[in-house]
A and B are shown apart, each in its own frame.
Chain A
């Protein structure tokens, strides 16, 4: 069974204080790993897809990296507007093609 574990569950940062969110996964074969951002009461917003270990993608202050067991979402010099819940999902290459989501990391950035 595919599993996705995100940590920490919640993270509070000061503006400008860089940090990383973790997504550990267990899947028979990885087809893709997805990162989303979700604001309260809204639908998740797609950020990145990573396909293979060693791959990295960047968008503004966010950088996602992937190994064979986990992915990190690095946030550099965060701003209050980066406050949101960040969701990770994995899609297996065999069996069910439906993505499995983690519970998310709630990030609050204080000014």
Chain B
């Protein structure tokens, strides 16, 4: 248990569905991240939030929409996804982005399958 909890662990959705992934951290961290992990590819950073402000968006398609209502919670809203979006989606948090311990702690991930 790393202190970062993701739900659901598994999700199967059709291309016309709308769903949301949830992440909660109990570590008192200020930064939260969404990563995508596809087979045989390095981790791809999608979004970064610091103190609830989005600070990085790596050209992610608009069918992925993040939301950070407070420093403990992070959501990833999904709509009209494509089969190639099937992957393991990982949430992570770190104490800070700069100026302090910045190693990230990851949740267990959501295995998403788009059919």
Give A residues with C-beta under 8 Å from B: 4, 31-32, 34, 36, 41-46, 49, 87, 89, 91, 97-99, 101-104
Chain A interface, >50% SS class: strand
Distance between Cα atoms of A74 and B42 in the complex (Å):
22
Distance between Cα atoms of A32 and B5 in the complex (Å):
25
**Chain A neighbourhood of B40, CB < 8 A:** 103
**Chain B neighbourhood of A41, CB < 8 A:** 88, 109, 111
- A87's partner among B4, B6, B43, B88 (CB-CB below 8 A) is B43
For this complex, 28 residue pairs linking A to B, each with C-beta atoms less than 8 Å apart, are: A31-B102, A32-B102, A34-B104, A41-B88, A41-B109, A41-B111, A42-B108, A42-B109, A43-B6, A43-B92, A43-B107, A45-B2, A46-B2, A46-B103, A46-B104, A46-B105, A46-B106, A87-B43, A89-B43, A97-B97, A97-B98, A97-B102, A98-B48, A98-B56, A101-B42, A103-B40, A103-B41, A104-B42
- Using CB atoms, name the residue of chain A closest to B45: A98
- Using CB atoms, name the residue of chain A closest to B33: A98
The reply to whether B106 and A99 contact each other, CB–CB distance below 8 Å, is no
**Chain A neighbourhood of B97, CB < 8 A:** 97-98
Distance between Cα atoms of A34 and B94 in the complex (Å):
13
The reply to whether A43 and B2 contact each other, CB–CB distance below 8 Å, is yes
Distance between Cα atoms of A52 and B56 in the complex (Å):
27
Nearest-Cβ distance from residue A74 to partner chain B, whole angstroms: 20
**Chain B neighbourhood of A97, CB < 8 A:** 97-98, 102
